[in-house]
Amino acid sequence: MALNGMEIYKLLPKKNCKECGFPTCLAFAMKLAQGNVEAEKCPYMSEEAKAKLSEATAPPMRTVKFGAKDFEYSLGGETVLFRHEKTFVNRPRFAVMFSDTMSPEEVEGKIKNINAVNYTRISEEMYVEIAAFRCESQDKDAFVSLIQKVTDSCPKVVPMIITENTEIAAAALNVCADRGPILFGANEQNYETMVNLARDKKLLLGVTAAGKEKLYELVERIQNADYKELLLDAGSRSLKNAFDDIVNIRRTALLSGDRTFGYPTVAFVCDMAQDKMMQLACASLFIEKYASIIVLSDIDYSLALPLFALRQNIFTDPQRPMRIEQGIYKVGDANEESPLLVTVDFALTYFIVSGEVERSKVPSWILIPDAGGYSVLTAWAAGKFNGKSIAKAVKDFEVENKLKTRELIIPGKVAVLKSDIEDELPGWKVVVGTEEAASLTNFLRNYKQAVS
């Protein structure tokens, strides 16, 4: 249960030392109650008090981790139902399902698809994070061999071991424990052994039951066994029921403050639909409401591009615009004679402009200065996109060493910057481009002919 400011104050040493950054212990306690500061800021608090405060001030949904080293991920930790209330914290992760009854050709095909889907969008590398392994044959050796093959072939994936057989689960963990796998399959019959396996290797444990009521009771038992690194599944494999379960689990945790359901959830989209596009639709729904792991039958670019883009758009701070890293970008086989365009670092603007440049088939360079992450007119009005910022980018990214041309094409909507840029960049000619990105294709083709 959450503590108020006065209850927290009673746990503090009451030194008023100001080392926490606040004038008094009471002021610190009030900020701590509001969630605006961490308990560790107090250097004199007892470990017992810290433990009590940590539990009391933790989010109603627990943050759990899986994976290892460069491929460790966090799930859960959410505090709101809707993105406009507060930024969502930990984005969902995608898994591709494997089974030990699949043919070698099918396994190879999925491995190839996982490795093929790897690209960067707005400075974030996009790839499949999880390979889920379902043991259907109950053949321990075949199951372990499948896990070994896929993890050797897909170095970035974290294994998710799906079995209710504790002996098979233990054997599977022996070949991939160093990758921080998810152990999935704790139920009413095996949960004690599964908890011991997960506790021994400090793993995220997937808990499943036939319905929310039985899941709630099972989670209570596991919590009483003092294990709280959990991933929940209410067992439904129909879209409607799974959606209802996941939404109700989230609402129970966040609105009622019931930490028995305060854990992330998994959606087995691979069992809800066979058609690829229907899986895409289901996965899109669970990105928004509220699965933390989404398991697909397979993946390719037709699935990855919309799913990764939707996830990235939702799991960003709505108050902070998505930005492209500043620099000079090459489009096509641009060389030292190719035209140079400049635009802002707002991600949407960059993708629209670069897309039109690609359509023109004119190899070009695009220079991105620091424009505050705003659109062209907004950045100009805010004083972020001006002659000084553009000239600084030209110098910082050594544009003059990359191009022989000394012409810079600017957006038509900020034609007023032409003289300012030429003042800041002696020897350069500024060309006023189009007002709309859609007109860039013809503009660049005509520009190329004019300078040829």
Q: What is the pLDDT of residues 36-90, one digit of tens each?
A: 677 778 888 888 887 777 766 677 899 999 999 999 999 999 989 998 888 898 9
Helix (H) or strand (E) holding 127: strand 124-127
- Go through the domains of the chain in sequence order and give each one's CATH number: 5-57 (1.10.15.40), 63-314 (3.20.20.20), 327-451 (3.40.50.11600)
Residue 1 pLDDT more than 60?
no
pTM of the predicted structure, to 2 decimals = 0.78
pLDDT band at 32 (very low <50, low <70, confident <90, very high): confident
Integer angstrom CA distances of residue 291 from 232, 285, 382: 10, 9, 39
- Sign (positive or negative) of CA dihedral 324, 328, 334, 339: positive
311-322 pLDDT tens trace: 998 998 777 778
> Would you state the pLDDT for residue 124?
86
* Residue 442 reports pLDDT greater than 80: yes
CA distances from 225 to 58, 187, 199, 234, 241 (A): 20, 14, 11, 20, 29
What percent of the chain lies above the pLDDT cut of 70?
A: 97
Maximum separation of any 2 CA atoms in the chain, in Å: 79
